[in-house]
Amino acid sequence: MTDHLGVWEHAEFSTPRVEHGYCTDDNARALIVVGRVQDPSREVTALGETYLAFLQQAELPTGGFVNRRLPDGTWSVGIGSDDSQGRAIWALGTAAGRGPTRGMQVEALGTFERCRDFRSSSPRANAFAILGAGEVMTADRGHRTARHLVQQCVERLGLPGDATWPWPEHRLAYDNARIPQALLVAGRVLGDDDLLDVGLALLDWLVAVETFEGHFSFTPSLGWSPGEPRPGFDQQPVEAAAMADACALAFAMTGDPRWKDAVAMAARWFLGDNDAGLPLYDPVTGGCGDGLGCDFTNLNQGAESTLAALSVLQLAQNLP
């Protein structure tokens, strides 16, 4: 799925749809996956360099990042969505904190530091930015730009609701577990026990809401609120990736084995332990279907879904 410019966005089955071009969102996701590889090979390191270069080339002189790149390498006009900005910051922070080479770490940190003035009203965009800043602060506890980003972004995640609906939004949407994950990261790097408690409680509630008969039954692509039918479809691989990341962090922070079990359950979702009883991950191609229906899977193996599966399987394999 990757050429000399970056990772292609879409695929028809396992073949890249080059006519659809590239996006910053997916190259950021790919750089995060590379940053988490333990003892990366030369080939993996080269992929990371490609994805980092993509983000650097997407950077606008006035700040922020273009999201869309055409097949010939030219860029669309204007800054990308708030989510794409947040994901770029997350990826740059990951590469700065644990990129496969010192050179990549320095390059990524330089670009990350120019993101100090990031502003968004989107809870998820702010969550992504916190995750990137948290990676930088894990490597350098006193990094001022990273601390500034965490402090300003955590205020925009939204306040928890009441006991019957504790979620900070009227309905669950997408990448849901990124919000409690960001609360946990912010609480850890700022030393704020209240944020940690809220993050753990919110994640605990989300796990319960998205579990059915011993397996994950994720929020469907159009979202969910109380009173709507469950299970809902189509379910997206990014939901499993967000859940696995958040639960792995909760396990690392608390040592409670139930969080580790939830990571394994997210991995099994890709292998067929889901509402349809069908696998999404294809071990032959290394790709992942783009969604789970009530009795089928989307056979197109695009970058977003494939990277989600790889990140979860990678995480489950590396947990102690």
Residue 21 lies in a domain: yes
Residue 99 lies in a domain: yes
192-232 confidence digits (pLDDT tens): 999 999 999 999 999 999 999 999 999 999 999 999 999 99
Residue 239 lies in a domain: no
Residue 243 lies in a domain: no
Write the DSSP string, the chain.
-B-SS-BBS-EETTEE-GGG-EEHHHHHHHHHHHHT-SS--HHHHHHHHHHHHHHHHHB-TTSSB--EE-TTS-B-SS---HHHHHHHHHHHHHHHHH-SSHHHHHHHHHHHHTTTT---S-HHHHHHHHHHHHHHHHH-TT-HHHHHHHHHHHTTS-----SS--SSSSSB-SSTTHHHHHHHHHHHHHT-HHHHHHHHHHHHHHHHHTEETTEE-PPBTT-B-TTS-SS-S-B-HHHHHHHHHHHHHHHHHH--HHHHHHHHHHHHHHHT-STT----EETTTTEE-S-B-SS-B-----HHHHHHHHHHHHHHHH--
Residue 24 lies in a domain: yes
pLDDT at 160 (0 to 100): 83
Residue 198 lies in a domain: no
pLDDT at 83 (0 to 100): 98
Look over the chain and give the mean of its residue pLDDT values, rounded to a whole number.
Answer: 97
pLDDT at 104 (0 to 100): 98
What total number of domains does the chain contain?
1
CATH of the domain at 131: 1.50.10.10
Q: Is the pLDDT of residue 161 over 90?
A: no
Residue 263 lies in a domain: no
Domain hosting residue 96, numbered range? 1-156
Q: Is the pLDDT of residue 288 over 90?
A: yes
pLDDT at 159 (0 to 100): 81
118-155 confidence digits (pLDDT tens): 999 999 999 999 999 999 999 999 999 999 999 999 99
Residue 132 lies in a domain: yes
228-238 confidence digits (pLDDT tens): 999 999 999 99
pLDDT at 186 (0 to 100): 98
